[in-house]
Structure 1
Amino acid sequence: MKLFKINPTAKSLEQGSVLSIGNFDGVHLGHQALLKFLLQKSMQLGLASVVVIFEPHPKELFLGHQSPKRIYNLREKIIQLKRLGVDYVFCIDFTPSFAKTHPEQFIQNTLVQRLYARFILVGHDFHFGKDRLGNQHLLQKMGQAHGFELGIFDMYELLGQRISSTGVRDLLVKQDVKNISFCLGRHYSIIGRVIYGQKLARLWGIPTANIAVNPLKLTLSGVFCVNIKICGQEQDYQGVANIGYRPTVDGKKLFLEVHLFNFSGSLYGQFIEVSFLNKLRNEQKFANIEELRKQIEEDIVCAKHYFSQTN
């Protein structure tokens, strides 16, 4: 278990906390609405806010390769929670041993004694603990004994559409960039460390920043107009990106390759955030490297035209 203090000015947990528990995969508009309520309660009570998450996702433990792929990895999730104003993230190692924890034990040892809960906010269908025996009724009962209040957050809908992590995953499979942005309340993005690639594009005068993408992550595929932010810097860059397996060069691993417009310098070892704005085409295999080079140049022209029309 690890406690991340993501707000340097956060109050000490020993003074008490307001907290919510869940997976928060995608940190979509439904999560944001819940967290907005939690943060309002935090200000009202003058207590620190805590989000309790599990790593790995419980379904990854129980279902293995049959489990749904993730929208965000742990780093991306914590960054989005920080941007929303959460004070702490408490990450629980979801091991086979922890999965056998009785819900009463989890409430007393973790929520009360470790996190000093004074207010707990959960979804309307929240279950937890061994065999999913823990629920809102147990929380209500133990809250009376341990001095914390319980809040229940109803299912979130926007324009008649339920917003859920499952829905976002379905949209990622469909490559529906517009509606992914609608459900997230922002553009879908990938955050990762730039690593060394084959440097083919650099030989053509089109240098790219390369990020290896975890195969457990569900993501987009193809060529996109993107915005790029170098973590720790204020300036954004426009660019074009390919995410896929690079079939023309016999790629075997999933990579994100990004060409930044109007940028010079080295990004190796740095973290960047790539936000996907508009899809240009699907990834494809070309007959030879020269055809690939010509298509990349066409992609750059198309991307610059897109930005000229949207700016």
Structure 2
Amino acid sequence: MSLSVTELIPSGGIGDTWRAAVSHSTGFRGCTSNCLNPATCPRWRRRWEPYSTVPRKKNARPIPATERPMQISFHEWEDSAVAHRAAASIGSDEVQVWIARAPSDEARLTALDCQLSPDERARADRFRVSEPRRQFVFGRALLRQLLGACLNVEPVTLAFGYHPRGKPFLAQSGLNSDLRFNLSHSGLIVAIALAHGREVGVDLESIHRLDDWPLLAERIFSSRELCELRALPASKQREAFFNGWTRKEAYLKATSEGLTDDLPAIEVTLVPGQKPQLLRLPAGLEGAHQWAIQGIPLPPDFAGALAFET
């Protein structure tokens, strides 16, 4: 998996036109001829991407940060100096999503375990099955490495607090940081979203994980969503279900609400190929305009979504 994608979204939120800039796919491995020029290198393209395609007038005023389009960037993680610099360069108008695959060998997992806090190691030891333990250890170690790079501190020194429904946050007031984050994993794939000053939520699922998804759909989808789902060809319905499921879950994780009993009141788009969008919330449509949803580039057997404040 090699990712080097940047998307720009105007700060107006849902309903605006999205513009995408896709760089050549080198990820963080190796170089190409373009890497000699920082203006064309995909690793640093985010710094050089123009905020507008309209030619700037002479003596025009700079665009205020609040009017600049949101940037959504996707990265493949590996523990390298380039990846650390990319994480550390996150801007106030950017949401970064980092995607990684958990190691399969126990030796590397043991090394990562040393980066966790005592309470995290105790929590990892309580897992009776190896795969959930691997997911937890790798996810927390990766989260610490990313946050450490952003804040220029040692990952092991970070301390977390937890919201009432379990969403973690940085507990050290001395860091003076408004960095927000969220984590999700399924199988060996881990995704972490980062942003300054805006809540983010991320969710990913293997689309082959559930066999009883048609029954679950009746509990979590509205009547409109169910009609849309059932109108699709049978070959597309499973993918559509997980599109809807991950988009709702990403929103709930962003708001720290966790799973609720009123999931049908949260309406999203779910048809494969359709733009991810939050259509309705229990509080009404006005609340939906404060949030945006974006798909995540993942292997074909996975569905994923990012939700963030606009």
Shared fold per TM-score greater than 0.5 = no
Class of the TM-score when normalised by the shorter of the 2 chains: under 0.3
Higher-Rg structure is 1
